[in-house]
Amino acid sequence: MHWIGLSNNRPGVPYPFPVSNIVQGFADMEYPMMANDSHMPDPTIQRFVAEHEIAHTWFPFYMGINEHRYGFMDEGWTTAFENLIGQVDLGEEQAAEFFKQFRVANWVRNPGDETQMPIIIPANVLSGQGLGINEYGKPALAYLGLKDMLGDDLFRKCLHGFMTAELQNIRSP
């Protein structure tokens, strides 16, 4: 089954703000209710980047995750959602190509070098390529692998269980 839109796909939680704005500026940066993306000549890549920034609405903003410390739950989840919504919006072949090109190719060919570190290492003590690997492609691949192992329905149920438990933990410490 294919769900259109991040609210109905993954994470599958309604968009929590009244509006969203995407501007062609210069930063490729997300904010609550806004994405400031650089201009890209390829409209498909522009859309791909915009979907990534909008996916940040849930991780970290909605969840309140410390993005500087837990990058694997900020960029990692967002990159997984970017792939899942891309499969529906851009097509499975294009989504797979972008994932390989932008999220995997830069680190998968060097499995033994010093940039390969456990994902759990806090992002605020990493830098350079090791930081990027641990924040984007590697955790996203783990989340997508988990989805493949659990199946769509159980993955969705577990994701929502995690999100609900985390929100209760944040709101009732």
Q: Which residues contact Zn ion (rule: CB under 5 A)?
A: 75, 78
Of 75 and 89, the one with the shorter C-beta distance to Zn ion is 75
Closest distance to Zn ion from the beta carbon of 56 (Å): 6
Class of residue 133 by CB neighbours under 10 A (exposed 0-12, middle 13-18, buried 19+): buried
Residue 142 C-beta: closest distance to Zn ion, Å: 17
Task: Determine the residue type at 28.
Answer: D
CB of 143 within 8 A of CB of 77? yes
Nearer to Zn ion, 38 or 169 (CB): 38
- How buried is 15 (Cβ within 10 angstroms: 0-12 exposed, 13-18 middle, 19+ buried)? middle
> CB of 102: closest distance to Zn ion in angstroms?
11
Smallest separation, CB 153 to Zn ion (Å): 27
CB-based contact 78:72 (threshold 8 Å)? no
Please identify, using beta-carbon distances, which residue of 78 and 83 lies nearer to Zn ion: 78
Nearest to Zn ion by Cβ — which residue? Answer: 75
Answer for the pair 9, 54: CB distance below 8 angstroms, yes or no: no
Nearer to Zn ion, 51 or 75 (CB): 75
